[in-house]
């Protein structure tokens, strides 16, 4: 069945927030635990809900650590985020072709909107489901189902594009086509263990894939 709805993860998929997340964690580790943590350790937790990661890593000081983390992000947001070449053009093309677009993210809504506005993307999405909208997050299918309800879409006519195992599993649990992006910070061999339906290395490839699925 042809794809009519496309859901996107935000961090690392639409907007490259990798450096922002890494530096935010490094600053928080240094502030609260007087500890230097390498990038690879932080990247391994990409896609996980912030509170889960921080509760595990910071224990009794997790509440303060979350405040520190978010404060660092607010102060350094635009400075440390980028957008991959072709992403905005691909989103505009999907929108112009009549696809319904949504975002399913574990990032706080205000922060996600800040990133979308920064790169001029916000007007192309009919649904944005963020961390403020639900306490049940990826890999559970609930956020995807919430987006589909807003889009008035069917799971079998939908794909979810992301960069982590949480995105693949969310799609699978919702009965949605799963697509992983080749620009994920996570190792591709690890991601392939979760058996995404498709892998694309550019937005141009994603546009071509959706076109092929029309047939």
Contact 7, 102 (CB under 8 A): yes
| Active-site annotation holder among 9, 11, 16, 167 | 9
Per the listing, tokens 């069945």 go with 1
Backbone angles phi, psi at 136, to 5 degrees: -110, 120
Pick the closest to residue 179 from 5, 4, 8 (CA basis): 8
Pick the closest to residue 184 from 44, 89, 25 (CA basis): 44
Contact 10, 115 (CB under 8 A): yes
Is 201 known to be catalytic?
no
3-state secondary structure of 169: helix
3-state secondary structure of 166: helix
Number of H helices, E strands in the chain: 10, 6
Known catalytic residues?
9
């Amino acid at each position: 069945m042809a794809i009519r709805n496309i859901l996107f993860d935000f961090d690392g998929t639409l907007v490259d927030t990798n450096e922002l997340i890494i530096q935010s964690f490094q600053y928080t580790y240094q502030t609260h635990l007087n500890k230097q943590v390498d990038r690879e350790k932080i990247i391994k937790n990409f896609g996980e809900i912030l509170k889960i990661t921080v509760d595990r890593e910071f224990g009794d000081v997790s509440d303060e650590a979350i405040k520190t983390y978010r404060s660092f992000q607010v102060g350094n947001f635009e400075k440390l985020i980028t957008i991959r070449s072709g992403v905005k053009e691909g989103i505009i093309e999907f929108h112009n072709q009549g696809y319904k677009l949504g975002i399913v993210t574990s990032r706080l809504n205000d922060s996600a909107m800040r990133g979308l506005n920064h790169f001029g993307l916000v007007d192309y999405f009919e649904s944005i489901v963020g961390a403020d909208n639900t306490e049940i997050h990826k890999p559970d299918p609930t956020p995807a189902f919430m987006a589909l309800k807003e889009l008035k879409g069917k799971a079998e006519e939908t794909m979810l594009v992301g960069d982590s195992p949480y995105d693949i599993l969310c799609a699978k649990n919702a009965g949605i086509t799963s697509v992983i992006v080749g620009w994920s910070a996570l190792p591709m061999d690890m991601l392939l263990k979760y058996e995404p339906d498709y892998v694309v290395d550019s937005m141009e490839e994603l546009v071509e894939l959706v076109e092929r699925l029309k047939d």
